[in-house]
Amino acid sequence: MSLLQSTQFRPDPSANATRRALLRAWPELQNPAAWLVALILVIMPLIANGFFLIEIFATTLILGVIALSLMFLAGYGGMVSLMQLTIAGFAGYMVAVFGMSGNANISLGWPWWLATPMALALATLFGTLGGALAVRTEGIYTIMITLAIGAAFYYFTNQNWAIFNGHTGINTVATPHFWGVDWRSDIAFYYVTLGVAAICYFAVQYVSRAPFGLALQGVRDNPRRMAALGFNPNAHRIAAYAFAAFIAALGGVLQVWNYRQISPGSVSVGACIDVLIIAVVGGITRPIGPFIGALIFVLLRTFALDVLIKLGLDGNRFRLLIGLGFLAIVFWSSDGVIGLWERWRRRSASSTQRSGGGRHG
Amino acid sequence: MARFIERHPAWALIVIIAVAVLAWLVFAIWPPGLEAAIGRKRVFLNAVLNGITLGGLYFLVASGFTLIFGLMRNVNLAHGSLYLFGGYIGYAISTWTGSWILSFIVAFVAVALVGVILQLAVFRRMEGQDLRQTMVTIGLSIVFADLMLWVFGGDFYQVQTPSWLIGPVQLPLLTAIKSSGEPVYLQYPLVRLVIFAASVVIGIAMWLALNRTRIGMIVRAGVDDRDILAATGVRIQLVFVLVFALGAGLAGIAGVVGGTFQSLSPGEDTRFLLASLVVVIVGGMGSIPGAALGAVIIGLAEQLGSVYIPTYAIVVTFLIMVLVLALRPQGLLARR
């Protein structure tokens, strides 16, 4: 029997090795649940109507991408940055400023394929500079400085009329339209967001296992030791900010295409904190966490009003619900919903084991 | 002071020149060329005084923040909510009883009580977990903001200034000389001056309490090394509760002050949280004189900025923060 098996495997040892290497690099490939989720996401337009497709799923994916950038910084770099939404908003503003919009006196009217890379580059630069500033201090100071950057940007967009058009913001931003497809139509836009989210997810997954990601995790755990080993902790941190800023900028571009407008309200301090809530509620140890958090957040935001009214409560207390939920998560699970799920699974696994063992004994 | 000049002669020179220029701008009668270049002296003086008095308000908010941080290493991001809560309490009391002074006392006590509850119910449970504490304060600020929106709605409120403080007062500062040779003196609202004087008094009292009393000695020791202090037998939890109550109470007083010379509305909590963050980053975390210096710098930058470069005013504030972080990341007056 063993001989048979070994002959079965013999014909193609190199292919087998590559397969194992692939599986080690992407353990999701072995997880049936991951394949199921991917399948459902791909055939979603067949199941869901336009409202669910855009208002729930596309919005979830966009918020998830922005929160993913925070998860990358916080989970692998140990830096909780509250300016990820600000970077996304900056990218959105740049799309509106360089591209076409209803405010012709501000927008430069570049075509989308020029305006979008420009916006991504500028937003990445913005995030990198902010990061370079934030890494000068550590731990909780990072939160304070990034929050100050975010708040300053919010007040700046409110005050500045020359570029950001004050508190009215920029409206009717043009969306890409090529190859005969309107990429903002519901189904096309859903696939665009799904594609970007998938790329970002796998990029974060990949970087976390690449030498850079491992070094970053080393810097998170013990910067002094990494410095002694010859790594430059601050350079790694700034590079992490740059990578995260690019992801956040992608999310920001998608967001401005989704709403077709951007105003200071989209970069308010509350919205910055929402991104933190999404990442923390989902769990900041794995890249899937932010997407779970975003789904919970979007569902709550969309349906809390109706549910609260149906329960005879004041429907405007949605933020109270979010805040209390966030507090509960922070209090009882340091690892968000993923942590709760894992703890529950471990407990049920150990209890079945115990009951099984009891039967044998 | 002398040591600072010895160690940093170049910086000392820059500071002395800046102070001299500012003093000349404040006291001299401006030559016509200067007035043509940057506008009337009255506008400038008003901006400077507004900046300094706003700095007084910022100091009240930020000193509580920095005190709590210095001792407990706890970034209380709900500090802005405490400010707004104090303001609303002060408004409610002053409309109900008509007494301005009483509203300060009640706001201080009420917000200090909230602080005590926070310290006992929340922060004591997660001591030493900085990040988690910070997240909790973020969650609390959301909950508080929504509760206050629920109770007080989205309206603007202003605390009534008492009648004996209404009206301008003439300051011995020349703004111009009329063609008839008659000097024109600056008129300035009395209430802002009184509030500024009060915040200076509070600041000095805090400094004295920290540096000249036994409790202050304990608090300073706690800032330096909490564990050794606890090992010497001081009941450190009691000190924590007292300091948290004092810091929160100061935020409450600041809320009444802010409600008197500005207004109260949802969103002010974030504004003052940002102000105290920037003030504390500029001045140095955990340092009371640092908070005072930072508050005056930020207040001046904000007011002068909004007069002379209105659409970029916030950038000035922000640039100051960037500059400080680049040159002296620990803050201007921090020890380490």
Indicate whether B294 pLDDT > 60: yes
Cα distance between residue A298 and residue A300, in whole Å? 5
- pLDDT given at position A136: 77
Q: How many Å lie between the alpha carbon of A135 and the closest alpha carbon of chain B?
A: 10
- pLDDT given at position A1: 42
Judge: B134–A143 Cβ closer than 8 Å, yes or no: yes
Beta bridge partners of A178: A181
B183 sits in which H/E element: strand B183-189
Count interface pairs A-B at CB distance under 8 A: 111
Option in B75, B273, B329 nearest A140 (CB): B75
What are the tokens at B295? 């508050």
Judged by phi (left if over 0) then psi (alpha if -120 to 50, else beta), residue B290 lies in alpha
Assign B155 to helix, strand or coil.
coil
pTM of the model: 0.81
Indicate whether B64 pLDDT > 60: yes
Q: How many residues does chain A have?
A: 361
Q: Does A248 touch chain B (CB under 8 A)?
A: no
Residue at token pair 């309206």: B155
Longest dimension (CA), chain B: 73
Q: How many Å lie between the alpha carbon of A56 and the closest alpha carbon of chain B?
A: 23
Option in B73, B142, B311 nearest A319 (CB): B142
> By CA distance, what is B135's nearest residue in A?
A330
> By CA distance, what is B138's nearest residue in A?
A273
Beta bridge partners of B157: B264
3-state helix, strand, coil in chain B (%, to 5): 75, 5, 20
What are the tokens at B57? 């308000």
Burial category of A157 from C-beta neighbours within 10 Å (exposed 0-12, middle 13-18, buried 19 and up): buried
Option in B131, B143, B150 nearest A324 (CB): B143
What are the tokens at A201? 């997810």
- Distances in Å between the Cα of B93 and the Cα atoms of B87, B106, B108, B192, B268 are 10, 8, 12, 21, 19
Residue at token pair 């855009």: A54
Burial category of A286 from C-beta neighbours within 10 Å (exposed 0-12, middle 13-18, buried 19 and up): buried
Taking alpha carbons only, the member of A318, A321, A332, A323 closest to residue A276 is A323
Q: How many Å lie between the alpha carbon of A113 and the closest alpha carbon of chain B?
A: 31
Judge: A155–B314 Cβ closer than 8 Å, yes or no: yes
Assign B78 to helix, strand or coil.
coil
Beta bridge partners of B264: B157
Q: B149 with A323: CB under 8 angstroms? A: no
> By CA distance, what is B132's nearest residue in A?
A330
Q: What is the pLDDT tens value at each position of chain A, 361 positions in all?
A: 444 444 444 445 566 667 676 666 666 666 777 777 777 777 777 677 767 777 788 888 899 999 999 889 888 888 888 888 999 999 988 888 887 776 767 777 777 788 888 888 999 999 998 888 888 777 677 887 888 888 888 888 887 777 777 777 787 777 777 776 677 777 788 888 888 888 888 888 888 888 888 888 888 888 888 888 888 888 888 999 999 999 999 998 888 888 878 888 888 887 888 888 888 888 888 888 888 888 888 888 788 777 777 776 666 677 788 888 888 887 776 677 777 777 788 887 777 665 544 444 3
- pLDDT given at position B114: 92
Judge: A269–B270 Cβ closer than 8 Å, yes or no: yes
What are the tokens at A186? 């519901």
Option in B136, B147, B329 nearest A137 (CB): B329
Judge: A323–B146 Cβ closer than 8 Å, yes or no: yes
Other CB atoms within a 10 A radius of the CB of residue A133 amount to: 22
What are the tokens at B316? 């000035």
Q: Per residue in B212-236, pLDDT tens?
A: 888 888 888 887 777 888 888 888 8
Report DSSP state, residue A54.
I
- pLDDT given at position B167: 73
- pLDDT given at position B119: 86
Judge: A326–B142 Cβ closer than 8 Å, yes or no: yes
Which are the contacts of A111, defined by CB distance < 8 A and separation ≥ 6? A99
- pLDDT given at position B18: 84
Report DSSP state, residue A170.
B
CA-based angle A44:A113:A256, to the nearest 5? Answer: 55
> By CA distance, what is B137's nearest residue in A?
A327
- pLDDT given at position A245: 92
Taking alpha carbons only, the member of B101, B144, B69, B70 closest to residue B253 is B101
Indicate whether B183 pLDDT > 50: yes
Cα distance between residue B148 and residue B155, in whole Å? 11
A273 neighbourhood in chain B, CB within 8 Å:
138, 142
Pairing of strands B168-177, A177-178: unpaired
What are the tokens at A229? 């080993």
Cα distance between residue A73 and residue A249, in whole Å? 14
Judge: B311–A331 Cβ closer than 8 Å, yes or no: no
Other CB atoms within a 10 A radius of the CB of residue A6 amount to: 9
Judge: A270–B270 Cβ closer than 8 Å, yes or no: yes
Q: How many Å lie between the alpha carbon of B74 and the closest alpha carbon of chain A?
A: 9
Judge: A143–B77 Cβ closer than 8 Å, yes or no: yes
The residue-averaged pLDDT of B34-49 equals: 76
Helices B313-327, B268-283: crossing angle, 10 deg rounding: 30
Q: How many Å lie between the alpha carbon of B84 and the closest alpha carbon of chain A?
A: 16
Indicate whether B250 pLDDT > 60: yes
Q: How many Å lie between the alpha carbon of B143 and the closest alpha carbon of chain A?
A: 5
The residue-averaged pLDDT of B277-293 equals: 85
Q: How many Å lie between the alpha carbon of A47 and the closest alpha carbon of chain B?
A: 36
Burial category of A358 from C-beta neighbours within 10 Å (exposed 0-12, middle 13-18, buried 19 and up): exposed
Cα distance between residue B272 and residue A60, in whole Å? 31
Report DSSP state, residue B330.
T
Chosen for mutation from B122, B132, B146 (greatest number of chain A CBs closer than 10 Å) is: B146
Cα distance between residue A137 and residue A131, in whole Å? 10
> Is pLDDT larger for residue A3 or for residue B302?
B302
> By CA distance, what is A164's nearest residue in B?
B311
Q: Does A313 touch chain B (CB under 8 A)?
A: no
Q: Does A159 touch chain B (CB under 8 A)?
A: yes
Taking alpha carbons only, the member of A158, A91, A161 closest to residue A124 is A91
Chosen for mutation from B125, B318, B323, B336 (greatest number of chain A CBs closer than 10 Å) is: B318
Indicate whether B178 pLDDT > 80: no
Q: A296 with A64: CB under 8 angstroms? A: no
- pLDDT given at position A2: 45
Cα distance between residue A137 and residue A154, in whole Å? 23
Chosen for mutation from A70, A79, A142, A147 (greatest number of chain B CBs closer than 10 Å) is: A147
Judge: B143–A331 Cβ closer than 8 Å, yes or no: no
Q: Identify the contact set of chain B against chain A, taking CB-CB distances under 8 A.
A: 73, 75, 77, 130-132, 134-136, 138-140, 142-143, 145-147, 150, 270, 273-274, 277-278, 280-281, 285, 310-315, 317-318, 321-322, 325-326, 329
Judge: A148–B318 Cβ closer than 8 Å, yes or no: yes
Q: How many Å lie between the alpha carbon of A193 and the closest alpha carbon of chain B?
A: 29
What are the φ/ψ torsions at residue A297 (nearest 5 degrees)?
-65, -45
Evaluate whether ipTM surpasses 0.90: no
- pLDDT given at position A116: 85
